[in-house]
Structure 1
C-alpha cells in the first residue's frame, strides 16, 4: 500500500497551526472559551478566532453550545484522542522539560480522606523511586468542584467520596470506608460496647465537614440516638484521636485510621447498637493523565483493593 513520503508529510503539516491544536485541547478539557482565555492570559475573542480558524481547516464545527458549556462533536472526540499523545510527546522534548528533574503530582482530598490515602501514596512514590514529587492540598469538595479542579489543571488527581461523571474525567472506586466508634482504652465509662442510652448521653467528638453525604447520615444518627449536640466539631483527625485518648469522650473515625493509630493513642473500638454508615472513596483524574502517573495510580489502586 503506497504511503506518503516523510518529507511530504512534514510539508503538509505546514498547513496546520500547532497553537490552534493546543487551544482546541484546552477548550475540549474545560468546555469554556473564557476559561481558556484566563489560562493563557489572552482575550476571549482571540480564543474564539483561533477556534473559528480550526473549524474552517477541519471542516467541522468541533463544539456545540449547551448552556454555558461547549460540548465536543464526534469528530472533535476523535481529533482530541489522536492529537493529545502527539502534543504530550512534544512537550517532553522541550528544553525546559529536560531541566525538570521531578514531575510534581498535585493531589487534592477532602480532609478526612487524607489519612486514608496520602501516607500510602507517598510510600508508594518513595518505593518506586519515581521522579515524582507530591503536592497535597485539602478542600471542601463536591462533583462540580472536582471537575473544575481537574479541568483547570489545578489538580492531577482528586480523592473524595464523590463519583464524578464527565466525558474527559476518569473516576474509579478505590475502597470502602467503614466507620467505628472509639474510646480511650482506660475509659472507665465504657467496656467494649455501648447501649443506646450510653450513646445518647455521651460526650461525642465529631468531624466538622460540609460534605452533604456525611451531614445527612450524621443527622439521622443524631435525630434517633442523640439528646445533645456533640461536645466538639473539628476538621482535625489528630485532635479527635488526642481528645478521645485523654478524656471520657467518644469519637467516630474510619476503621482504617483506627487500625493505624489505635496503638499510638491507646484506643479501643466499641460495638454499637446500630450500624454506622459506610462511604466509598473515589479517585478522579483527567483521562489524558501522563503514562508515569497512570502507572503509579494503577499500582496504588491495586494495593488499595487487595
Structure 2
C-alpha cells in the first residue's frame, strides 16, 4: 500500500466534517439521537441529518435501532476506537478545555451490594493512583435493567446478583456472598445458636428488596421456619445493624458486612439449624470497555472473610 505524503493526508481529511465525527462519538456514547440533541441544544432532526451525511461518507449504516436505543455496527465500533483518542487530544488543545484529568466511571449496584463492592473498589483506585473517579448509583436491578443501563451508556459497570447473557456485554463472577444471622452480643434471649422454634418466634429485621432471587429464597425460609412477618423491612444496612445492636431483634446480613461492623455495633453471629442461602456477585460491562476499566476489574474481587 502506497504511503501518502502528510500534506495529501491532511487534504483528504477536509472531505470529512470534524463536527460529524464529534457528533458520531456522542451518539455512540449515549445511544440516542434525542439525548444528543438535548445535550447540544439542537433539534433531533438536525442530529439525524448530520448522521445521515456521515453514513453516506463512511458507506456504513453506523447504528441500528433496537427499541429506544441505537446500537453501533462493527464498523462503528472500529471507527469510534480510532477517532476518540484523536478527538480527546484535540479537545485538550482548546483554550477553554477542561483541565480535569480524571476519567469518571459510573457504577451501579443493588443497594445491599454497595457495602460489599464500593469501599474495596474505591480503595483499589486510590492504591493504583489512577486517573479514575467513581460515580456510584443504586437501583433495583434485574437482567433487563442491567442490559438497558449498559447499552444506553448510563453505566460503565454494574455489580449485581445476576449473570447477564448478551452478545455485546461481558459478565464475570466476582465472588460468592454468604449470609449470616446476627444478634447483639448482650442479647439475653440467644446464646451462640438458635433453634427452629426460637427462629420461628424471633423478631426479625429484614432487607427490603425487589431482587427476585432474594425474595424467592426468603419466601422459602419464611414458609418453613417463620410463624409471623418480619418486624421491619428496610433498605438501610445501617438501620439493620443499629436496631439489632439496641434490641432483641435478629437480622440476616452478608458475612462481609458482619465482619466489618461486628465490633463497632457489638454484634455476634448465630449458628442456625438450617442453611442460609448464598448468592454470587457479578460485574457486567460493555465488551468495548476501555483499558482503564479492564485494568481496574482485572484482579478485583469481592472477597468474603475466611
Alignment TM-score, normalising by the size of structure 2: 0.85
Note the C-alpha offset of 1:258: 1.0
Over the residues paired in the alignment, what is the CA RMSD in angstroms?
2.9
1:34 aligns with 2:34: yes
Note the C-alpha offset of 1:181: 1.0
Note the C-alpha offset of 1:157: 3.1
Summarize the alignment of residues 124-163 of structure 1 with structure 2, pairs less than 5 Å apart. 124-163=124-163
Could you say which residue in structure 1 is the equivalent of 2:23?
23
Residues 66 and 105 of structure 1: CA distance in aligned 2, closer, same or farther (over 3 Å):
closer
Residues 201 and 304 of structure 1: CA distance in aligned 2, closer, same or farther (over 3 Å):
closer
Note the C-alpha offset of 1:288: 4.6
Q: 1:156-198 deviations in whole A, cap 9, x for unaligned? A: 4332223344555443322211111111222222222222222
Q: Give the distance between the partners of 1:122 and 1:238, measured in 2 at CA.
A: 20
Tell me the SS of whatever aligns to 1:99.
Answer: coil
From the two aligned structures, give the one with the greater helix fraction: 1
Could you say which residue in structure 2 is the equivalent of 1:258?
258
Q: 1:225-258 deviations in whole A, cap 9, x for unaligned? A: 2111100111111111111122211110001111
Summarize the alignment of residues 215-226 of structure 1 with structure 2, pairs less than 5 Å apart. 215-226=215-226
Q: Give the distance between the partners of 2:62 and 2:187, measured in 1 at CA.
A: 65
1:238 aligns with 2:246: no
Question: Any runs of at least 4 consecutive aligned residues in structure 1 with deviations exceeding 6 A, and if so which?
Answer: none
Q: Is the CA contact 1:174–1:305 (under 8 Å) kept in the aligned structure 2?
A: no
Note the C-alpha offset of 1:80: 3.6
Could you say which residue in structure 2 is the equivalent of 1:268?
268
Could you say which residue in structure 1 is the equivalent of 2:296?
296
Structure 2, unmatched stretches of 5+, are: none
Residues 53 and 216 of structure 1: CA distance in aligned 2, closer, same or farther (over 3 Å):
same
Q: 1:259-297 deviations in whole A, cap 9, x for unaligned? A: 111122222222222222222222234445444444333
Note the C-alpha offset of 1:124: 2.0
Tell me the SS of whatever aligns to 2:253.
Answer: strand
More displaced stretch, 174-183 vs 37-46: 37-46
Summarize the alignment of residues 84-103 of structure 1 with structure 2, pairs less than 5 Å apart. 84-95=84-95, 99-103=99-103
Residues 168 and 88 of structure 1: CA distance in aligned 2, closer, same or farther (over 3 Å):
farther
Could you say which residue in structure 2 is the equivalent of 1:171?
171
Q: Give the distance between the partners of 1:35 and 1:163, measured in 2 at CA.
A: 29
Q: Give the distance between the partners of 2:232 and 2:86, measured in 1 at CA.
A: 53
Structure 1, unmatched stretches of 5+, are: none
Q: Give the distance between the partners of 1:128 and 1:31, measured in 2 at CA.
A: 31
Q: Is the CA contact 2:92–2:99 (under 8 Å) kept in the aligned structure 1?
A: no
Residues 206 and 39 of structure 1: CA distance in aligned 2, closer, same or farther (over 3 Å):
same
Could you say which residue in structure 1 is the equivalent of 2:180?
180
Note the C-alpha offset of 1:116: 0.7
Note the C-alpha offset of 1:219: 1.6
Could you say which residue in structure 2 is the equivalent of 1:63?
63
1:279 aligns with 2:279: yes
